[in-house]
Structure 1
Amino acid sequence: MTRPPNILWISTHDIGPHLGAYAGVHPGAEQARTPRLDGLAAEGMRFDLAFAAAPICAPSRSAIMTGCFPTAIGTMHMRTKAVPPPQVRLFSEHLREAGYYATNNWFTDFQVPTPPSAFDDCSAHAHWRNRPTPDTPFFAAFHLLTTHESQIYLDDDAFARRTAHVPDHHRHDPATVAVPPYHPDTEPFRRSWARYHDLITEADHEIGVLLDQLEEDGLADDTVVVFWSDHGPGVPRAKRWLTDAGLHEPLIVRWPGRIAPGSVHRDVVHLMDLAPTTLRLAGVDVPAHMHGTPLLDADGAVVASPNTYAFGGLDRQGEMQDRSRTARDATHRYVRHYHPDRPPMQHCAYPDGLHTWQELRRLASAEAVQRAGGALPDLLTPLQRALVAAAKPAEELYDLVADPHEQHNLAADPAHAATLARFRGALDGWLATYGDLGELDEDDLVATWRPGGTQQVTAEPRVAGTVVECATEGAVVVWTADAPAAAAEDTAPLGEAIGTPVADGRQWRIACPASPPPTDRPVWLKACRLGFQDSAEVLTNEGATTG
């Protein structure tokens, strides 16, 4: 039997396709200094039309890890602790059941508490090098925080330390950096865009370290490498907006001997398609409930036309209460706003503390002073002013080929009525097929998940001979031979908010043919289901001792 490939995921935060490999394909990519990622693309396949399911971290990552639309499984609000339908699982569990050593270093943010069934190791020390044998296939995910929006706004000394590996000749000069037309050409925006590009260059170095480790271990030829980001840049009208800037993502896949070097994929894909694609590459059956579509076959062959449209949504983001849906094909984007009376840039404590948000607020305030003096405002263009407007259009339609920065809304143009009707129908069809839990009041939705405000508890597993089962639908039974110990206090930033797993110092395995519970020693079993509290532990083979 052919050994399945190793799979390495490298993701980063808050960037669009601003890599050298996308120069001439994505606006602004020509400014990139990303030699390692450019090399990865030259050795593999560049996806030109990859899109996130949401323009903010946790909903997007929930889609990637489950292969399901957030609006369909309840993970669309930023942040939440959802209880997805019972058939929904984090896809890494399927890899573990197929014999993979699955690790995650270390960031989660999947909109659910991360269960012990998800990974063999989910920590800052997780690495393929810790797998039990050199022949064990691995799935290893690394999530770089280097490019997170918070890093753009560091003080000068902290930013210099954060970008210590960026050589002077690769640094971006705020005086010459390109600023997109939806942003005012002012010092805070110039500085932020220059820093954004420098952070990507720093991340490129870190990615190179991982790729070098793969080479050092002699694993590069046997490993599928996948690079992606979760959503667009941490600036207004990108992150937190249903725009191409907010949803269009880099995606690169390298598989030596299977994917031809320098390949380009020009069909529309969801980042959500990565879950079924990874399972397909690993030789694992794709669960029928997944909404995503495999992009590659098990031999690396490209699946033709996996999607006609990429769909996405925007819901509550922090204190910002809103709901919008979007569809994107190869040339156009359509957006439907269910609350057009609400401003696109509502107050939200965290982003309102960022320099770019503050600069837009300052200019809007200064324009109000101009109006008070009887003058017409001239500090913002109409496109920029729309970001801080009191309302937004009910519908938006853009031709991304002619208008890559989405400056001209065509929704009210009779010449584009047929295109508008097509997108309306596509979006309606998507919602009818998968449903939209965003229609429900969030408090009512949470009440269905936690009746009486109490988290539901997974039933204890039952052992009948060699069979282990659980009465809770959708539950997974895990086991460990490690005796109970006090759980370590979580010290990771945002640990509880992002669903960091409990660090109890024990190795939990899934009770399945690939990792059956031993019978010659005491074993602790428990059951877990996404969104539920883990069951109480059950001790089996209590009197057994190892020889």
Structure 2
Amino acid sequence: MKFFIKFITLGFATSLAFFNVSVADDRPNILWIVSEDNGARWLGCYGNPAKPTPTLDKLAAEGFRYERCYSSIPVCAPQRFTWITGINAISAGTQGMRSGVQIPDFIRYYPEIFQDIGYYTSKGKDAKTDYNRRSNRSGNDSWNEPKKLEWDVLKQKQPFMHVINTHSTHESRVFGAYNPNKHTAPKAGNLAAYHPDLPGIHFVYEKYNEAHRKMDAEVKIWLAELDQSGLAKSTIVIYSSDHGGVLPRSKRFLYNSGTHCPLIVRIPEKYKNLYPASKPGDTVKELVSFTDFPKTWLNLGNATKDQVEQMQGRSFLGKETEPNPEFVYSFRNRMDDRLDMVRSARDNEFLYIRNYMPFAAVGQFLPYLFNSQAMRDWKQHDLDGRTDAVTSRFFKQPRVIDELYLYEKDYDNVKNLAADSANAARIKAMRAALRQWQLEIFDSGFIPEDEMGQQAAKYELTVYEFVRNPELYPLEQYIDMADKSLELDSKNLGCFLEALNTPFVGNRYWATLGILNLSFVGDSTKGNNVLNAMQALLEKTTESQVVKAYAAWVIVRSGNDKQGQEALDFLKNLGYKTYSFRTVLNVLDWMDPKHSSPVMLDIYLNGKQSGDSARVITNHLISQASAEVAELVEQHSKAVNSITNHEKRLRNYSQKPENISAEKIAKQTTQSQAELARATAVEKELRAKLEAKN
């Protein structure tokens, strides 16, 4: 084999670089197979009674199965950022789903470092480049071959690092409506304790088992091709998912179902010095975080400490491994258009979850998630009053602040031990560990995403740089104020009111949330001192729009009708034309619908929202407005969708597609024009009725 070595000729002013020198290179090739959205318990070797993954089960018997491997964040794009850089997404402001946050040019991608140490890097079979950031370089630029899997090329380019991604288990694979007249729904053998026993839910379980059978068959083909190429004896095979999923309350959430992920590593005998346990087929119980992956894969290729210095994980495989951690951590922030902030710490026994926004339900409406029949049926089951104490908890508002689970004995995380005084010391210790980690990695979540972009831009910094400047982002102060906001102690009210006058927006934000949280547990926030302070925030021209949105909610909750209506009008105006629209939308959806539905209707009729934002508003009105308004909105939204679809068809027909005859195009154009006219007339009539209600 050949690889490049940089020779420096001592005693000369010039250096001779990158001579192609023929030397033996016995470092392993690395083949990393990633499936999307599936938690560990969907594999047979991790306990799925349906056993849909015989190939992966065999791979586990030939390799090493990690029992305690956890995603950093339970959704794809922020996890891809964490993988490609080795930096936790919350350390760079890229934790929001599809965030597009600018990152510094000096942050390197792990394939680039592999190339530095002489590896050929490639990805194929749907390996993605959605790294959830803006950058001055393309996601494909860091790979020698970014799109294809070519075994002959890999054979010539050893050592190599190749990534295969399959979306056969992606969440979208379980979409589609359950029809009892067309579908059978065998009882799921692994029904989670928090899921009600409903045919539509069992149907989705079986659909996802079938998705795993398809994925497993793909893996079988790739492993056979690896064998046929003659590369198997020199290639470490790694299999993992990209996070947990995909039934409701898994993907996007910090419970086991969202973060506990499969990790299987098969190591050829020639590299048995790298075995993490005594022999193939053994299981490994050490805690592993997905943040560890890039640093570990580079360690297998003998990268130096300097080369992986930016990375925040640890090396758990290779010649120089790092000590087992006491804890691993995960995080959750904005998922699509729905806001949240949750952090977790996990040791070898307990999972501790910290909910920083308890005023929002865990299971708030998220359009993409509600494409699943299981999610729709579960929600309807709850609306019908048929859920019990366990199956209803997902929808409760407000929710608990602290959660503590014995996560292996209580795998479904339904027995919250946080309220037991016997666990107070443990929670205190785990919270302290979480805080230390947040400080070490510069958790950027303590200024909300909508506001963070404004703050960083003001100083012409990326978020990554902004949060590392304590004069701009005093993180210790912010964590202190956030913790105080979650104490639900009216004795803190004076502290919150005082903090509203500090120069740091993070302190004002958490102080406002502290007052909001108090409004759910007593009357301490209904005094004139609080109302005047909140009103002052609304009137302050330099105040953050995000802070103002929450201050308006406090005023509405005060019970003062006049000021409450003025606050609602303020939110309505804020919702039309501002950077904080996403915050306003969420606040209105969390609010008591008797206050927020009229505002939502106004925005529905007169706003410029689209995509998920439009679906959140529409769902709010259909599910929470008066019966008459709900019916009109449902009919109107169908008319709008019909208009959109027919306009799209007409655009397609105007391009005269070659696969359709001219006669058929003319006929379908006429039909679509007629349907468009009918839908437009219906939409106009329904809009007039809704405007009369507004």
Cα deviation for residue 116 of structure 1 reads 4.3
Cα deviation for residue 401 of structure 1 reads 3.3
| Equivalent in the alignment of 1:246 | 258
| Equivalent in the alignment of 1:417 | 424
Matched, 1:31 2:43: no
Q: Find the residue that maps to 1:225 and give its secondary structure.
A: strand
- On the 8 A contact 1:323/1:338 being kept in 2, the answer is yes
| Equivalent in the alignment of 1:15 | 38
Cα deviation for residue 177 of structure 1 reads 3.3
Cα deviation for residue 448 of structure 1 reads 5.9
Q: 2:333 aligns with which of 312, 315, 327?
A: 315
Q: Could you give the per-residue CA deviations for residues 22-57 of structure 1, whole angstroms, max 9, x where no partner exists? A: 23xxxxx23322111111111111100000011111
> TM-score when scaled to structure 1?
0.73
- On the 8 A contact 2:362/2:396 being kept in 1, the answer is yes
| Equivalent in the alignment of 1:281 | 300
| Equivalent in the alignment of 2:483 | none
- Segments of structure 1 that go 5 or more residues without pairing to the other structure are 24-28, 161-170, 368-378, 457-547
| Distance across 2 between alignment mates of 1:185 and 1:130 | 51
Cα deviation for residue 309 of structure 1 reads 0.9
- On the 8 A contact 1:294/1:306 being kept in 2, the answer is no
Q: Which has the higher contact order (CA 8 A, sep 6+)?
A: 1
Q: Find the residue that maps to 2:263 and give its secondary structure.
A: strand
Q: Find the residue that maps to 2:158 and give its secondary structure.
A: coil
Q: How many matched pairs? A: 423
| Equivalent in the alignment of 2:609 | none
| Distance across 1 between alignment mates of 2:140 and 2:31 | 20
- On the 8 A contact 1:87/1:289 being kept in 2, the answer is no
- On the 8 A contact 2:176/2:373 being kept in 1, the answer is no
Question: What is the identity, as a one-letter code, of the residue corresponding to 1:174?
Answer: P
| Distance across 1 between alignment mates of 2:210 and 2:323 | 35
Aligned residue runs from structure 1 range 379-418, under 5 A: 379-418=386-425
Cα deviation for residue 451 of structure 1 reads 6.8
| Distance across 1 between alignment mates of 2:460 and 2:437 | 32
| Equivalent in the alignment of 1:68 | 87
| Equivalent in the alignment of 2:202 | 190
Q: Find the residue that maps to 2:286 and give its secondary structure.
A: strand
- On the 8 A contact 1:44/1:263 being kept in 2, the answer is yes
| Distance across 2 between alignment mates of 1:444 and 1:422 | 31
| Equivalent in the alignment of 1:498 | none
| Equivalent in the alignment of 2:311 | 290
Task: Evaluate the alpha carbon distance shift between residue 135 and residue 366 of structure 1 in structure 2; reply closer, same or farther with a 3 A threshold.
Answer: closer
Cα deviation for residue 141 of structure 1 reads 0.5
| Equivalent in the alignment of 1:180 | 192
| Equivalent in the alignment of 1:494 | none
| Distance across 1 between alignment mates of 2:314 and 2:442 | 18
| Equivalent in the alignment of 2:353 | 335
Q: Find the residue that maps to 1:384 and give its secondary structure.
A: coil
| Distance across 2 between alignment mates of 1:242 and 1:384 | 17
- On the 8 A contact 2:239/2:262 being kept in 1, the answer is yes
- On the 8 A contact 1:172/1:197 being kept in 2, the answer is no
Q: Find the residue that maps to 2:261 and give its secondary structure.
A: strand
More deviation, 112-121/437-446: 112-121
| Equivalent in the alignment of 2:284 | 265
- On the 8 A contact 2:67/2:283 being kept in 1, the answer is yes
- Segments of structure 2 that go 5 or more residues without pairing to the other structure are 1-23, 464-694
Q: 2:173 aligns with which of 147, 151, 174?
A: 151
| Structure with more strand by fraction | 1
| Equivalent in the alignment of 2:689 | none
Look at both structures and tell me which one has the larger radius of gyration over its CA atoms.
Answer: 2
| Equivalent in the alignment of 1:376 | none
Cα deviation for residue 449 of structure 1 reads 6.2
> TM-score when scaled to structure 2?
0.58
- On the 8 A contact 1:128/1:139 being kept in 2, the answer is no
Task: Evaluate the alpha carbon distance shift between residue 455 and residue 304 of structure 1 in structure 2; reply closer, same or farther with a 3 A threshold.
Answer: closer
- On the 8 A contact 1:308/1:329 being kept in 2, the answer is yes
| Distance across 1 between alignment mates of 2:347 and 2:132 | 27
Aligned residue runs from structure 1 range 83-482, under 5 A: 83-105=102-124, 106-112=127-133, 114-123=138-147, 125-131=148-154, 134-154=156-176, 174-257=186-269, 258=272, 259=275, 260-286=279-305, 287-298=308-319, 303=321, 305-367=323-385, 379-447=386-454
Task: Evaluate the alpha carbon distance shift between residue 178 and residue 55 of structure 1 in structure 2; reply closer, same or farther with a 3 A threshold.
Answer: same
Q: Could you give the per-residue CA deviations for residues 455-476 of structure 1, whole angstroms, max 9, x where no partner exists? A: 99xxxxxxxxxxxxxxxxxxxx
